[in-house]
Amino acid sequence: MTDELEPLSPAEARQMYLDERRHELADATIQAHGYRLKQFVAWCDTEDIDNINELSGRDIHRFRVKRRTDDNLATATMKGQMATMRVFLRFCASIDAVKGGLDEKIILPTTTEADAREELLEADRARDIFEFLDQYRYAQLEHALLAVLWHTGLRIGAAVGVDIEDYDPDEQYLAMVHRPEQGTALKNASKSERLVALSDSVCRILDDWLEHNHPGIVDDCGRNPLFATSRSRLSRNRGRTIAYQYTRPCIYAKECPHSREIDDCDAYRTEKAHSCPSALSPHPVRRGAITHHLQSNTPEKVVSDRMDVGLGVLERHYDQRTEQEKVQQRRRYLPDE
């Protein structure tokens, strides 16, 4: 430790960092950074590090090894963890809490094409889920939310930020509006603002949801949320729970692919739905929606604009088509002569 450094606990440093970045990052990104740094603060507690002035490159290496081995993180997840640590340490150096250059000692793991290919909701499985929802939960909150997520590929944060006034049933679209001052920021701020076209079937579900089942509540900002519970605007956490809940095979297919007795399985309880090995969060639903659009011959640029994802990111992280599928689809756009 040098004389220039000012003592600071890991927890205080984490909070200062989040407060500093809150005005420039989307809410979902802040939540992700907060969770990753929470793991670091917990590790510091186990290592009796109560002043980050003491951190060294060797400490960062030990934390990295701990996360990679004990927590069995995928390479892509590990890369996100260490990227957050890098910018966090850079911030800490700027406020004289750690030695300058400590962030440069972090080496990000290299992700491969295989690392980018993660789980997704496949179209056949989505059809089974919606057959169940159509029959048993028609135009309820779960049905309306999942229909929009699947057919539009919206991020869960964007979906819960939509107001009733943002839905145009006549022109059949949702207007995506960046409202950070009211807690409903979009991932890429104003660049994410756009009109998202809806199909006839999705509009029918939304119309019936609004007419028959919407609770009619107003949120704390005086706005009318499109997706709402009996108390408030639907939260991201509740939206994630809905995705986990209705992507369990025991719910929509009445069978367990993991050879478990359904009635005795903890994951059969709604509050434990996330523990089902087959349950999916909203992001694999988004990934599946994007892949389904691509496999249905929607041009990449259209998918990029609709789903608010760059073409490079689209190809690397979402495009699940085989090379044979790609060439056959490109052939359809070639001139005859």
Whats the size of the chain, residue-wise?
Answer: 337
For 196, the enclosing helix (H) or strand (E) is strand 194-197
Among 32-46, 103-117, 201-215, where is mean pLDDT lowest?
103-117
278 lies in the same domain as 167 = yes
Task: Compute how many other C-beta atoms are within 10 angstroms of the C-beta atom of residue 209.
Answer: 21
- Asked whether the beta carbons of 60 and 66 are under 8 A apart, the reply is no
Q: What is the pLDDT of residues 88-133, one digit of tens each?
A: 999 999 999 998 888 888 877 765 554 444 578 888 899 999 999 9
In a domain, 46, yes or no: yes
Instruction: Name the band, by pLDDT with cuts 50, 70 and 90, for residue 312.
Output: confident
pLDDT of residue 104: 85
In a domain, 70, yes or no: yes
Task: Compute how many other C-beta atoms are within 10 angstroms of the C-beta atom of residue 16.
Answer: 16
H helix count then E strand count, the chain: 15, 3
Task: Compute how many other C-beta atoms are within 10 angstroms of the C-beta atom of residue 201.
Answer: 12
Structural domain ending residue among the three candidates 259, 284, 309 = 284
Maximum Cα–Cα distance for the chain, whole Å?
A: 75
Structural domain ending residue among the three candidates 284, 302, 320 = 284
- Check whether 70 has a pLDDT greater than 60: yes
In a domain, 314, yes or no: no
The whole-number average pLDDT for the span 179-204 is: 91
- Check whether 2 has a pLDDT greater than 50: no
What is the side-by-side order of every strand in the sheet holding 167-168? 167-168, 173-176, 194-197
107 lies in the same domain as 138 = no
- Alpha-carbon distance 206 to 239, whole Å? 16
- Asked whether the beta carbons of 52 and 92 are under 8 A apart, the reply is yes
Range of the domain at 133: 123-284
**Total domain count, the chain:** 2
131 lies in the same domain as 280 = yes
Structural domain ending residue among the three candidates 81, 116, 151 = 116
pLDDT of residue 115: 47
In a domain, 159, yes or no: yes
244 lies in the same domain as 167 = yes
Q: What is the pLDDT of residues 274-288, one digit of tens each?
A: 888 889 989 889 988
In a domain, 305, yes or no: no
CA 26 to chain centre: 12
Q: What is the pLDDT of residues 233-263, one digit of tens each?
A: 999 999 999 999 999 999 998 888 888 888 8
Nearest C-alpha neighbor of 145 from the set 171, 174, 170:
174
pLDDT of residue 68: 80
CATH at residue 158:
1.10.443.10
137 lies in the same domain as 91 = no
- Check whether 20 has a pLDDT greater than 80: yes
